Structure 1
């Protein structure tokens, strides 16, 4: 056995130039397969943690996914607003720790505008309960979490990282918001511009693509509007002095004192008689949403597996193509007493060794890519790659590649097995 393996190694070394390309091909396919699987797991984790630390999202009665889409991902719109009186009643529930209202509907050059309280910057978390951090400036209203501060300074805005980077905004610049999605000409709130007071650090969530303003500011810029049309004659200074406390908002983020009470609070919200409301668990709704959007990542994983199969077929093709050149070599081994099974073993071991080297190199390349690219991905996309040992699924993938390589190596071995001694010594032209 050792002699056969030694011959297989020497034979492969003699053709190292050609086989090294096969090793590289298998390594790259392994890198792609493992990389996609690792990205798939980490992207799903990041997706499921687009909002964390929030126990319930409360909004008008609609579908859980629709409520999650327009509240967290700023996609679509609410069917109805909810009254602030209802949120005050929810905040008085003995199990509720805090309530942060949010109001949506306006935009700025294609980016959504979210109106909320300064407490939003303290309560909203993402990922593994990571808080929002300002890379520059401060929150609007002084960042103390009090409505009076926001009332005193309502026209400051805090930009997400993507908004500031793409549009080139800096602290102190003026920002003009648009009514609705901004596609209607003349729908700008040009008479009441905002000032950039803060820029958030990148999170890799929809927060990066959002312009944040106070609820009082949202109320102020719409006091001279009716049915989506501005009312002529209103003066901005008069609006700033008016009562800017909103009566309705789009939704609210709710935190509980103890998560054990989450279903009790959810039921209490659903049973409120003042207006039809619903409360959804963000984690459950995110998992439901992933079932819809996760088909793409499964397709990408399938493409990666196909690339691995193509690489193994390339291994078979290379070994088969070299058989005609090695027929005399194999025939000499047969003449020296090697049994057909020995010839089979030599070629199968050669193919298996090449595949094992490729898989090992692919694992090393995957680890190097994670180490080298995790900081860049975290900075630009907010995606944190986990530097951990391969999961059971990844081990199964490696075993599948090696198993497929072994089966593929049997094909040229079987072809050599059937070569007769006379055919090897007198090859046809």
Structure 2
């Protein structure tokens, strides 16, 4: 049960991480996780995320369901701190100690940022005997001329020699439009003091520049061999509806479906239900499912302005989107981005109606900036 618990927490944490990188408003506010017992769904975990004024996740509370008490009990708490530019600088993982009814430090990550670029991430674990933080690992980042991550080198702490030693290196390549092309994983060989190929991930995109296929290959020592393939399916609004994982079968020399994740989305393209299934001998079986709710970041982002009523309508929209504000606000910059980060609309005019009829159908990010505030919304073009 402990291993499954860690897997579930890792699944939720990965989801939060991915959401945060894409768009802060896509980080769920609550996640209700259930596990299939072979006959029915059982309650398993409940995750509650709180947000700051910029709608960035600050605390994630993981609770585990207890059958005996028919209630959720504390399990783990993740806390994230940001700098003034909304860059993550420190994160803390705590676990609940039932004996003392208190949170106990487990792990912390300290991020060093220069010119809004991550330079390194130092991970430390808490030593109960000495009540101090002990080095565990460090990720060092280098960037290309476009400020994209080029190489991430992972080093682990060698307690015998009191130093960090190379373990893993990830090298990123990009297409001219800025999308990731490949990610190469290399392991450090202490015998040769050099890097050895391990895993290679290759990305393929559809016409909307969304990932349609992710191919993973492993290094055999002389050539790249098939390992697994992920296929992504989207609806007409570019919201993901299915992720299919197929593993390579060396006996049949073909890919065999092993795991399927289905997404049910709301009108904003946010996944409100995520169903995970596993394939056993050609038959799909339920594994787990998440029910998710999302914060109203329109309210969160303006709380410090006496909760001014702010409305964007219609959303989804056909050609024009309107802004309604209860009090006078001057927007110094109004921008719309597609999901790749490309600017598709920009104006410094203080408008209350935006003509976006030139955009193709899909999901976009609207950013409104005043002299003191920057507010982000997801909008959908029909």
State whether TM-score is above 0.5. no
**Structure that is richer in strand per residue:** 2
Tell which has more relative contact order, 1 or 2 (C-alpha 8 A, sep 6+): 1
Normalised by the length of structure 2, the TM-score is 0.26
Determine which structure has more spread, i.e. the larger CA radius of gyration. Answer: 1
